[in-house]
Amino acid sequence: MSTDLPTTVDPFVVEIIRNALTSAAEEMSLVVMRSARSPLLREAGDLSSALTDHEGGLIAQGHDVPVHLGVMAFTIRAFLDRVPAERLAPGDVWILNLPDVGGNHLPDVKVIRPVFAGDRLLAFSVQLAHWADIGGAAPGSYYAAATDAWMEGMRIPPTRIFAGDQPDHEKIGLILANVRGAAEREGDLLAQVAATRVAERRILEIVERHGADTVAAAMAALQDISEAQMRAAIRALPDGVYEGVDYLDDGGPGDRPVAIRVRVEISGDRARFDWSGTDDAIAGPLNTTPSIAGAAVFYVVKSLAGAAIQPNGGCYRPLEIVTRPGSVLDPGPDKPVVGGNHETSQRAVDALFMAFEPVLGDRMTAGGNTSAGLLIFSGPGPHGRWATFYEPHGGGEGARIDRDGMSVVRVHLTNVMNTPVEVIEAEYLLRLERQTLRRGSGGGGAHKGGEGQIRIYEVLTDGMSLTTMFERRIVPPYGLKGGQPGAPARATLLRPDGSRTDLPGKANIALKRGDKVIFETPGGGGYGTAAGIAAAE
């Protein structure tokens, strides 16, 4: 592709359009957070928004969740393979969640609106929101014992739910009949639809100001510019072959750790990422999709080599991503994948950082809380309706060459917020007994890893269930350059009779009134040795 701007588009106009499109994507996410019904979206912000060109090339995104945004670079192209452009019309809204249509896992529901300037298909607005339930065998749609994809919830292929901006109540009703908490899901869905409509309005305002031809040319130019920037960033990396590996705690044969392996080849301005050495697909829900492997690659390359690059479809052109069919990262459509979205994806990121560490060590951060630290409480709510509380938990960041790690943050592909205590206790039959730093959990070294946190939940009703889905319970966050690892995650069930049970990282558990769940998140790894400080002094 050419890296020069089209001669018909002034570079200042391209920059103006870039910022206007980015603003539109960010506004989409704000619309959802201010109008959705579930605390997961309103408070934690487990959602992402993006705009693409008419062919599905990513052109703008919000400041949202990296694993979502990387996946959405593939979504519309895969959508158009299923739904040809000639089937689309102004006022259409489509919904899908199939992982094999440029996706990740079933709870991440994508709402898509084609944007027309007159009769011309110009762009797509895409809004992804994590639904607190999408059906399936377990409340919250995380079933630890899942052995196939159908146990994880309702599978929605590309389906038109609005035509001419009018809802198709029969299709929407079919979806809502297959999920728990239908009223809350309906509110979240309508918030997503509203966000795509706001984006359409903003794009058409840009068209009115600059013309459709100029906007289309600017979209192409933006991707060409990012491609050139990414190629320059790759050229700055040393040519060579680099290998890295990280491990899921368990789930392999005999419940052994599962290896996520990558072989990176840098040659000139291109990079190849071969994941073929990754272990075979497993029975449980920690498989994931090739799109997730792509999201991990893009995140790491951009963070190490091109932080200032405008993220869009052009960034992917110099990157070749290879997965092996039948592996954890390419398991096929019948395998469960719900936890792989935020757990296996992070193992892929850490494997990539391990690969680059020998040549880019000074830019590296020690291992951190690379897990969503997910607990899901589901059952009777305070208002007489089903309530599902989905909560990712922050932990310690790894230390760097020049500073300690931060405490109780999300790192790498996750970027959601915690749900405030007041909202938890108002919306769910739970009491948060304690929330504090997990002192001493950060790994020691010349610079110390950040601290994890401790949260204690008390259950206030019978008939509630708990789902755990977290990693770094067995394989702790690693230290670098002699730094110590961080403390691993730990979850404990305390019964009213005083008995205590250590909980697995992936489980579905029945709870009753008076039970307490104690969750301790990992600390970050340390960097360098304490002796190194004394030597420097």
Q: At what angle do helices 290-305 and 344-360 cross, to 10 degrees?
A: 30
Identify whether the C-beta of residue 424 lies closer than 8 Å to the C-beta of residue 461: no
pLDDT band at 3 (very low <50, low <70, confident <90, very high): very low
Label the pairing between strands 516-520 and 490-494. Answer: antiparallel
Nearest by Cα to 14 from 217, 202, 204 = 217
Q: Which of 39-53, 169-183, 294-308 shows the highest mean pLDDT? A: 169-183
Nearest by Cα to 248 from 281, 272, 220 = 281
User: How far is it, in rounded angstroms, from Cα 391 to Cα 427?
Assistant: 13
Residue with tokens 């052009």: 314
231 pLDDT higher than 80: yes
Widest CA span of the chain, in angstroms? 76
Give mean pLDDT, residues 507-513: 96
User: How far is it, in rounded angstroms, from Cα 533 to Cα 481?
Assistant: 13
Give mean pLDDT, residues 185-192: 97
* Residue 259 burial (CB count, 10 A): 16
CA distances, 19 to each of 15, 145, 211 (Å): 6, 45, 16
* Residue 434 burial (CB count, 10 A): 12
pLDDT band at 308 (very low <50, low <70, confident <90, very high): confident
384 pLDDT higher than 90: no
pLDDT band at 6 (very low <50, low <70, confident <90, very high): very low
Give mean pLDDT, residues 210-223: 95
User: How far is it, in rounded angstroms, from Cα 68 to Cα 130?
Assistant: 10
Nearest by Cα to 80 from 59, 103, 60, 56 = 56
pLDDT band at 102 (very low <50, low <70, confident <90, very high): confident
Using a pLDDT cut of 70, give the percent of the chain over it.
97
At residue 71, the pLDDT reads 83
Tell me: the pLDDT tens digits for 330-361? 999 999 999 999 999 999 999 999 999 988 88
67 pLDDT higher than 90: no
pLDDT band at 305 (very low <50, low <70, confident <90, very high): confident
Reported as type and span, the H/E element at residue 167 is strand 166-167
User: How far is it, in rounded angstroms, from Cα 531 to Cα 383?
Assistant: 58
pTM value is 0.93
Which of 119-123, 387-391, 409-413, 441-445 has the least mean pLDDT?
409-413
At residue 412, the pLDDT reads 87
